[in-house]
Structure 1
């Protein structure tokens, strides 16, 4: 995987952002930007080149699924890989995210191996 890939990690809990950042670093991915909610993530998207979003579902101000809708509705970002991370493992939540264009989905709690497995498949195209 290319180390140039920029990943946006969006979660309202700093502990979860740190955990995901550590997993990404272990995969050799160190170009990571963070946001603590969907509104701030949208600002980051418009200020930085981002190649992939890893986003929590439940956050204040703008939920992950609302951010997903906004991303998919903007021509600049419509094809941007988007991984939803959430404690909501119910089928209806997965279906909602799928209908709105999520690229992949992972439920909490997850292991480093779970997340890296999802990402390796998605990022294989970056060499």
Structure 2
């Protein structure tokens, strides 16, 4: 499974990547924002996107909308990582057809459970 990890904070990307490797997901690519992620998505095949919600240039919600609006990418699972507690913002992301949420702070078990849910849906 090839996973694109999108987060503007290098530390958060590295924590997530280390967790994914621990869970035996070695095929990982990292992007610093939604714009860079879209470039990767146009040029490579991915099985999953894990993206932060709040980022400069293009945030996670806009990235999710662009993925869902693209016929070639529309079925791609997207996990949203966020510390957002605004229910209206969460409802907007759910309406945009996010595959799942990971609420910060999270641990290895939370990530593992979300990945298992994604794998079951495929």
- CA distance in structure 2 between the aligned counterparts of 1:31 and 1:96, rounded to whole angstroms: 30
Consecutive aligned runs of 4 or more in structure 1 exceeding 4 Å deviation: none
Query: Residue 116 of structure 2 aligns with which residue?
Result: 120
Instruction: Tell me how large the CA RMSD over aligned residues is.
Output: 1.2
Q: 1:91 to 1:79 in 2, by over 3 A?
A: same
Query: Pairwise mapping of residues 9-24 of structure 1 onto structure 2 (< 5 A)?
Result: 9-24=5-20
- CA distance in structure 1 between the aligned counterparts of 2:121 and 2:57, rounded to whole angstroms: 33
Query: Residue 45 of structure 2 aligns with which residue?
Result: 49
- CA distance in structure 2 between the aligned counterparts of 1:107 and 1:114, rounded to whole angstroms: 9
- CA distance in structure 2 between the aligned counterparts of 1:120 and 1:56, rounded to whole angstroms: 19
Matched, 1:62 2:61: no
Following TM superposition, by how much is the alpha carbon of 1:87 offset from its aligned partner in structure 2, in angstroms?
1.0
Q: How many residues align?
A: 122
Contact 1:89 1:107 in 2 (8 A): no
Query: Residue 68 of structure 2 aligns with which residue?
Result: 72
3-state SS in 2 of match to 1:39: helix
- CA distance in structure 2 between the aligned counterparts of 1:107 and 1:31, rounded to whole angstroms: 23
- CA distance in structure 2 between the aligned counterparts of 1:33 and 1:25, rounded to whole angstroms: 12
Structure 1 residue runs of 5 or longer lacking an equivalent are none
Structure 2 residue runs of 5 or longer lacking an equivalent are none
